[in-house]
Amino acid sequence: YESHGVLTAQIDPSRESYKEDVALNVFYKQLLERVQNLPGVTQVGIINTLNASTNYSIAEHPPVPADRQESVQMNQVSSDYFKAMGIPIRRGRVFDDRDVNGATRVIVIDESLAHKEFPNEDPVGKHLKFWKQSWEIVGVVGGARYWELNGDPVPHMYFSYQQVNWGSMQLVMRTEFNDPMRLINPVRGELAAIDKNQPIHSFKTLESTVSRLVAPQRFTTLLLASFAGLSV
Does residue 84 have a pLDDT over 50?
A: yes
Q: Can you give the pTM of this predicted structure?
A: 0.88
DSSP code for 123: -
- pLDDT tens by residue, 154-170: 999 999 999 999 999 99
Mean pLDDT of 16-25: 93
CA atoms within 13 A on the CB side of 118: 23
Per the prediction, the chain carries an average pLDDT of 91
Alpha carbons 177 and 206: distance in angstroms, whole number: 13
pLDDT, tens digit (0-9, with 9 covering 90-100), for 182-226? 999 999 999 999 999 999 999 999 999 877 655 445 444 444 555
Per-residue CA distances from 92 to 21, 76, 109, 182 (Å): 27, 18, 10, 36
Residues 6+ apart with CB under 8 A from 173: 6, 7, 8, 9, 35, 41, 43, 44, 84, 180, 183, 187
Residue 106, strand partner residues: 136
Residue range 38-66: mean pLDDT, rounded: 95
More confident residue, 213 or 141: 141
> Dihedrals φ, ψ of 225, to 5°?
-65, -40
